[in-house]
């Protein structure tokens, strides 16, 4: 068997509540801005929750033909836009410049969504109920199913390698990046688009999570509602958007002179096997996953300078993630910097891990740690360094990005500042 290959990130694409574009989102994050607002998609009605991390400036027509856009759900539009951003930054020559060794049959797309086209599902249900089921659009199923995001990306860029979309709740896009990393590392592909997309700021999306009592009802000041690790946290805030990277095998990237943003060096996935929504006691599953990721990277806990936490702003998650970090990192837990960017973007569900992997990449690249905003009242159960409220200029060499989802699914990525 050939030796495992090194895998690097050469392109990023972000669509978040802080804006469309990687740079716009990053600038909002390091300034500690909140993207949480009163949602404008539908009338609140009897729902208690009317806030969300809604993308404020997305124009599908800037990224695709308007006729093409009408055939896609919003989550798919976000995915295609983020993939285009990543492609533009990476300048990956797939399908264009085979002299650089890029065979389209060895370029994959692994892009997931936790829920898929819920907006299209709701609109089509209304059409069926009011006008008749024979009036449904022929594009209804294609707009709804989650794998149309990677399908559309593969068609746009002539990617003929693996083309699929994981569905693992809030771990979805971290799993996508991890599986793409493995695909390249072990020689199945030479490059991959990877990440996730989500757009479920809809009556059923918010209503469903509200019924689970998972959402913050502290809606008087939307910007203050998402408060990870704060004693007064009371639930997550729904977010939306996409986070997609271009991953490449190192030698291919070097051969074409690509700018290398970071190196993916570790990945692990496992299960709590405990409860549908609650994390395992003491964060036991997260502990195992973080340890496995460190083992995968050949690193010790003290090698990690920053953790982009799952940090959902729910009472159980934040407490258990803190316990898990203490268990894994020991004395170093008091020194490692931790932040939850969900305090600003909201919880992007299936897109969260992809967006946060990009944030982790930029941390390595820019030497700035984004803060956890709204951290006002310390919680004795959450007593680590969460980089409260203000970004911190610190150069770190390695970061960990945690993603934990309903169903007990866990994924952890480790990225490193690239060194030749």
Report the alpha-carbon distance of residue 281 to residue 321 in Å, rounded. Answer: 10
Helix (H) / strand (E) element for 139: namely none
Give, as one character, the DSSP assignment of residue 372. Answer: B
Report the alpha-carbon distance of residue 196 to residue 235 in Å, rounded. Answer: 23
Report which of 102, 93, 86, 85 is spatially closest to residue 11, judged by C-alpha positions. Answer: 86
First to last CA, the chain: 24
Report the alpha-carbon distance of residue 70 to residue 60 in Å, rounded. Answer: 9
Q: Name residue 193's beta-bridge partners.
A: 109, 246
Angle, vertex CA 356, rays to CA 351 and CA 358, nearest 5: 105
Q: Which residues form the catalytic set? A: 170, 310, 347
User: Which pair of structure tokens corresponds to residue 14?
Assistant: 């972000």
DSSP tally for the chain: helices H, then strands E: 13, 15
Report the alpha-carbon distance of residue 411 to residue 168 in Å, rounded. Answer: 10
Number of Cβ within a 10 Å radius of residue 162:
18
- Rg (the chain; Cα; Å): 20
Report the alpha-carbon distance of residue 236 to residue 216 in Å, rounded. Answer: 5
């Amino acid at each position: 068997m050939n030796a495992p290959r090194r895998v690097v990130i050469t392109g990023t694409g972000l669509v978040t509540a802080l804006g469309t574009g990687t740079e716009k989102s990053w600038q909002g994050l390091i300034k500690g801005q909140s993207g949480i607002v009163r949602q404008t998609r539908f009338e609140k009605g009897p729902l208690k929750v009317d806030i969300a991390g809604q993308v404020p400036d997305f124009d599908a027509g800037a990224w695709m033909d308007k006729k093409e856009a009408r055939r896609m759900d919003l989550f798919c539009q976000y995915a295609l836009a983020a993939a285009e951003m990543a492609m533009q930054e990476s300048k990956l020559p797939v399908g264009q410049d085979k002299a650089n060794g890029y065979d389209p049959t060895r370029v994959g797309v692994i892009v997931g969504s936790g829920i898929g086209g819920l907006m299209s599902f709701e609109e089509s249900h209304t059409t069926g109920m009011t006008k008749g089921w024979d009036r449904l659009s022929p594009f209804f199923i294609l707009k709804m199913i989650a794998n149309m995001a990677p399908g559309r990306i593969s068609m746009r860029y002539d990617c003929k390698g693996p083309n699929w979309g994981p569905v693992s709740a809030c771990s979805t896009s971290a799993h996508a990046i991890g599986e793409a990393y493995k695909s390249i590392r072990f020689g199945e592909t030479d490059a991959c688009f990877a990440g996730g997309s989500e757009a479920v700021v809809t009556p059923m999306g918010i209503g469903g999570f509200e019924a689970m009592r998972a959402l913050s009802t502290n809606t008087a000041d939307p910007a203050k509602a998402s408060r990870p690790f704060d004693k007064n946290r009371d639930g997550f805030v729904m977010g939306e958007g996409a986070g997609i990277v271009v991953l490449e095998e190192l030698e291919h990237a070097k051969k074409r002179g690509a700018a290398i943003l970071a190196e993916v060096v570790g990945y692990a996935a496992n299960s709590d096997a405990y409860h549908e929504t609650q994390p395992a006691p003491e964060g036991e599953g997260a502990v195992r996953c973080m340890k496995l990721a460190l083992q995968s990277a050949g690193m010790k806990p003290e090698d990690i300078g920053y953790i982009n936490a799952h940090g959902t702003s729910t009472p159980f998650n934040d407490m258990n993630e803190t316990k898990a970090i203490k268990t894994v990192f020991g004395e170093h837990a008091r020194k490692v910097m931790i932040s939850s960017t969900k305090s600003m973007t909201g919880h992007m569900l299936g897109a969260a891990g992809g967006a946060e992997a990009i944030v982790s990449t930029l941390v390595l690249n820019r030497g700035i740690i984004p803060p956890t905003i709204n951290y006002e009242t310390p919680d004795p159960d959450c007593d680590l360094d969460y980089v409260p409220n203000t970004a911190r200029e610190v150069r770190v060499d390695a970061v960990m990005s945690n993603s934990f989802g309903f169903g007990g699914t866990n994924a952890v990525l480790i990225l490193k500042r690239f060194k030749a």
